[in-house]
Every structure is written in C-alpha cells, then in structure tokens.
C-alpha cells in the first residue's frame, strides 16, 4: 500500500555518494592482467576467484572500507546539515534553498572523499591478483614507506570529478523515474527500489571510464607503468592517457558489467532505506507537533 510521504525535498541531497568497487570489478578493470586473471565476465571472475583463492577472497579489503565509512559518513552528514542551514539562512532566510543544498553537498563530498580515499587505495591494492598484502596494516606500511603519504591521495581529484557526474546522473535519473512510477510522491517501497536500482545502474555505466582511471591511480599497476615514462601515474590526465595507450578506447569500459551489478543493489537498498527513514522521521515530527 502506498503511504503518503510529506514533502521534505531538502533531504534528498543528503544521500552520500555510493561510489566504490567490488573485488571483481577491480580485477576486471586491470589494463594488462596476469594470464591467470583474465576473465570474460563477472560470473567467471567470481567463480574463479573463489575456486582458486578461497571463499573469502572477494571480500578482502572490505574491513578497511567499513572502518573508513564510519568517520567519512559522519563528516558528510555533519558538514552537510551545518552548511545547509547556514547557507539557507543567508540565501533564503526562513526557507529552503536548492543552491544552498547543492553547495553544502559539494563541500560535504570533499570531506567524505578525503576520509574514504586512503581506505579505497588499500582495499583495491589488496584485491588485485597476486596481491602481496594479506593484512591491512601490511599494505598501509608498504605504501607509506615506498611511495609516501601522497600515494593515498593520487586518485582524490579523480574521485571528486567522478562523484560530481555520478551524483548528477544518479539524482536526475531517480527523480525522473519517480515522476513516472510514483507521481504522487508517496512512500512506496517498490517504486523506490526500482528507481534507485535503475538510477545506480545508469550512473555507474556512464562514469565507468573515470572509475577505471581511479583504479589505475590507486593500484599503480606495474605492467601499465611500463608505458608511463615518469614512473608513477599521478593525475587524471596521466591516467586517461595511460589507459588509452595500453588498451585503447575499449579499456575505458573494462569492468562495466561488474560495476553496474555492484551498484544496482547498493543504490536500491540505499534509496529504499533513505526513503523509509525520511518517511518515519517526518511522520514522528508531525505527530509530535500535533500533540503539542
């Protein structure tokens, strides 16, 4: 049954970026993989990883992601809510300003990605085929000693440039589908799940080239480095150039299938949970006001 959802439009911008990659997509985005790590599709990749490296191998590195997600999302929501209120009072006193919401979301994303980027670097290095790292601490120590602290942020600018178009496409697609599936804007779990899943799939597919470049910056894949005269790939332009030199245009879409499959349940769950709590909090607020 569809339940009326009172409009709280300013909350929509507070959904944090749903970026990231699974072990399968990290492997499939490798530009020049080891012959033993060449996969034709997602199912083959997942099956071979489990069969040859163990059941828990696809989950390697997710503990560091979970550790980083706590402070990253705390920073995101705290910054967003504070800036949203401050900027709204300046731009549109007593009302809601979409400009303020967008600006607050952009600044909050800077903090969110700053906290998550080192965790993403460690996770992806641990997920690579024949990764020498078995523990998070080993990976962190090796990267710090061999490449310096800057290695944890080589993909930071790429992550930011990827989050902006991803979020723009994601939100626009979700709102477009909601207008068709749920024009009354009621709390309707099925419409939120379907719209969220489709929005995540479209955004993930379109931004795959940026994700490939981010993966290359994070992993500094040794075979790909041979085509780069500087010894390290240090920026998005360098990453784009290296990807093209190694694999051509098609290399920009390596792992697109795995990335889309990863995002579909992620965004579907995120939107359904978000809409549920938005409805629940709004209902509680209205009941509290009515009881005063």
**175 in a structural domain:** no
Total of domains in the chain: 1
**3 in a structural domain:** no
More confident residue, 9 or 154: 154
Domain of residue 26, residue span: 19-58
The pLDDT score that the predictor gives to residue 78 is 75
**53 in a structural domain:** yes
pLDDT tier at 5, thresholds 50, 70, 90: very low
Asked if pLDDT for residue 17 goes beyond 80, the answer is no
| Per-chain mean pLDDT for the chain | 75
The pLDDT score that the predictor gives to residue 212 is 86
pLDDT tier at 204, thresholds 50, 70, 90: very high
**Which of these ranges, 2-11, 18-27, 156-165, 261-270, has the smallest mean pLDDT?**
2-11
More confident residue, 16 or 22: 22
pLDDT digit string, tens, across residues 167-190: 778 878 887 898 889 888 789 999
pLDDT digit string, tens, across residues 95-125: 656 677 667 777 877 888 888 888 888 887 7
Specify which residues 3 forms β-bridges with: 187
pLDDT digit string, tens, across residues 246-281: 888 988 888 888 889 889 998 898 889 878 988 898
């Amino acid at each position: 049954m569809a339940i009326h959802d009172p409009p709280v439009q300013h909350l929509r911008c507070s959904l944090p970026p749903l970026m990231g990659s699974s072990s399968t997509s990290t492997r499939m985005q490798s530009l020049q993989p080891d012959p033993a790590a060449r996969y034709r599709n997602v199912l083959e990749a997942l099956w071979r990883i489990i069969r040859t490296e163990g059941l828990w191998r696809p989950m390697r590195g997710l503990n560091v992601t979970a550790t980083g997600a706590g402070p990253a999302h705390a920073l995101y929501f705290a910054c967003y809510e504070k800036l949203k209120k401050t900027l709204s009072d300046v731009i549109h006193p007593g009302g809601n300003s979409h400009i303020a919401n967008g600006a607050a979301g952009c600044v909050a994303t800077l903090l969110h990605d700053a906290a998550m980027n080192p965790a993403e670097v460690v996770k992806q290095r641990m997920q690579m085929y024949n990764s020498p790292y078995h523990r998070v601490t080993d990976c962190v120590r090796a990267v710090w000693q061999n490449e310096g602290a800057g290695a944890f942020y080589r993909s930071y600018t790429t992550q930011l440039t990827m989050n902006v178009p991803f979020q723009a496409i994601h939100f626009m697609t979700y709102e477009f589908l909601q207008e068709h599936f749920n024009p009354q804007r009621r709390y309707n779990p099925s419409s939120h799940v379907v719209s969220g899943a489709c929005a995540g799939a479209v955004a993930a597919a379109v931004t795959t080239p940026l994700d490939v470049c981010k993966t290359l910056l994070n992993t500094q894949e040794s075979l790909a480095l041979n085509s780069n005269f500087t010894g390290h790939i240090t920026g998005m332009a360098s990453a784009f150039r290296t990807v093209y030199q190694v694999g051509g245009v098609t290399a920009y879409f390596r792992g697109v299938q795995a990335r889309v499959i990863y995002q579909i349940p992620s965004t579907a769950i995120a939107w359904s949970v978000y809409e549920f709590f938005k409805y629940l909090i709004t209902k509680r607020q209205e009941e509290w006001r009515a009881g005063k």
